[in-house]
Structure 1
Amino acid sequence: MNPYTCGHVYVVDDNPDIRFYLTDLLRQMGYSIEGYDSAQAFLQQSIEIFPAVLVLDVRMPGMSGVDLQEKMKALGRNTPIIFISGESESEEIIRAMKGRPIEFLWKPFQIQTLIDAIDRGLAVDSVNRQDFIQKNEIRRKWQALSAREREVFVLMLEGHTNKGISEKLDILPDTAKKHRANILQKMQVHHLADLMALCKGLDMEALEP
């Protein structure tokens, strides 16, 4: 049984035969499906769903699949993409691959190859979604800190002791200790090690509103 039966697949292809074939087949296999005949229609009508994968034709009238890929990136939509193509110039392929799609499939392709790529994409999107949720939760807690607590927060992550923090900020050690305790409480962790693990690899500038 497909482990991602709750996964969603967008199919964007201006060829109605291919679009109808893929949407019908994938629906029968347990995926939820939306089909669009153009990149513009996808942008105007689609709703962001998680986890999801976009099966995208490279060459279409108007906005191409690669144009749509770049537009989605600009909009902050990170749905994994599987490109499908009957023919493409090398420049198109290079542009497409710069966006790191899950797969680039040449028509006609084996349906199992597409299914494997879809499942990989859904797995990636599930991880991305959890990461997005976690970062938003950290951002919410960070924004609850006072301006002084945020200064102490950064120094804590840099490994400064209460004494070091007090010297850096010209405050009493007891005041630094209180700030430290408040920060741990607001970030909902018990120890500095937990706080450092929570924020590992996080861009602190991205936490600002």
Structure 2
Amino acid sequence: MNPPTSGHVYVVDDNPDIRFYLTDLLRQMGYSIESFESAQAFLQQSFDIFPAVLVLDVRMPNMSGIELQERLRALGRLTPIIFISGESQSEEIIRAMKGQPIEFLWKPFQIQALIDAIERGLAVDALNRQAFIQKNEIRRKWLTLSSRERDVCALMLQGHTNKGISERLDILPDTAKKHRANVLQKMAVHQLADLLALCKSIDLNALGDD
């Protein structure tokens, strides 16, 4: 059995035997563990920890695992999910898979299959956390730009030269050059290629204005 990396595992299952078994086993393997008897308890009591993965039973009273998955997505909480199920209808499986879980395991499952899924989930969550931190850092820098500098930055990312920027914004070329230098300085990059790399896959319009 492959040794695990460090990480946090939430176990949510209304069956106490399964919950206690998984909690004890995963803790012995070196993971930090929190277990919950219901989806509601998880929502009320759990803290958002990184990196983490959620081992989630599909069928539970009051709120199912799939309903919890959808609630977490609505809240913007994207902890990777591993579904475990003893019996599920095809409609449930399809609905669960729409949320792109890491794995869907049928009880009884091989422990190594669970460990492998947990490790994949932790790796995904670590990358998500890194992207979250990077986006917040870009947003912090973006908010230091003046309104005009943001316009210039957007045109820079579109590949416009100082002349093109001056024509589009109806400003002098020297003014465009000054704004361009300010953008690079405030975004903490040395050249346009660095700015492009920093802002790729980021929607600047979604970063806010204040």
TM-score category, normalised to shorter length? over 0.9
Matches within 5 A, 1:83-122: 83-122=83-122
User: Is there any run of 5+ residues in structure 1 with no aligned partner, and where?
Assistant: none
SS of the aligned residue for 1:78 comes to coil
SS of the aligned residue for 1:176 comes to helix
SS of the aligned residue for 1:104 comes to strand
Q: Deviations over 1:165-204 (max 9, x none)?
A: 0110010111100100000000000000100011112112
> Quick one: distance in 1 between partners of 2:144 and 2:3?
42
> Quick one: distance in 2 between partners of 1:142 and 1:82?
36
Q: Deviations over 1:105-127 (max 9, x none)?
A: 00000011000000000000011
- The answer to whether 1:126 aligns with 2:126 is yes
> Quick one: distance in 2 between partners of 1:51 and 1:2?
17
SS of the aligned residue for 1:148 comes to helix
Task: Identify the residue that residue 41 of structure 2 maps to in structure 1.
Answer: 41
Q: Which amino acid aligns with 1:134?
A: Q
SS of the aligned residue for 2:190 comes to coil
User: Is there any run of 5+ residues in structure 2 with no aligned partner, and where?
Assistant: none
Gap change, CA 1:37 and 1:185, over 3 Å in 2: same
RMSD: 0.9
Task: Identify the residue that residue 198 of structure 1 maps to in structure 2.
Answer: 198
Q: Which amino acid aligns with 1:2?
A: P
Structure 1 residue 206: Cα displacement: 1.9
SS of the aligned residue for 1:120 comes to helix
- Percent identical across equivalent pairs? 80
> Quick one: distance in 1 between partners of 2:190 and 2:4?
36
Task: Identify the residue that residue 73 of structure 1 maps to in structure 2.
Answer: 73
> Quick one: distance in 2 between partners of 1:189 and 1:45?
42
Matches within 5 A, 1:159-198: 159-198=159-198
TM superposition outliers: structure 1 runs of 4+ over 3 Å: none
Structure 1 residue 3: Cα displacement: 4.8
> Quick one: distance in 2 between partners of 1:205 and 1:106?
43
> Quick one: distance in 2 between partners of 1:12 and 1:36?
5
SS of the aligned residue for 1:101 comes to coil
SS of the aligned residue for 2:160 comes to coil
> Quick one: distance in 2 between partners of 1:50 and 1:95?
26
Structure 1 residue 205: Cα displacement: 1.9
Structure 1 residue 52: Cα displacement: 0.1
Number of aligned residue pairs: give it: 208
TM, length-normalised to structure 1: 0.98
Task: Identify the residue that residue 2 of structure 1 maps to in structure 2.
Answer: 3
Contact 2:4 / 2:29 at 8 angstroms: preserved in 1? no
Matches within 5 A, 1:143-154: 143-154=143-154
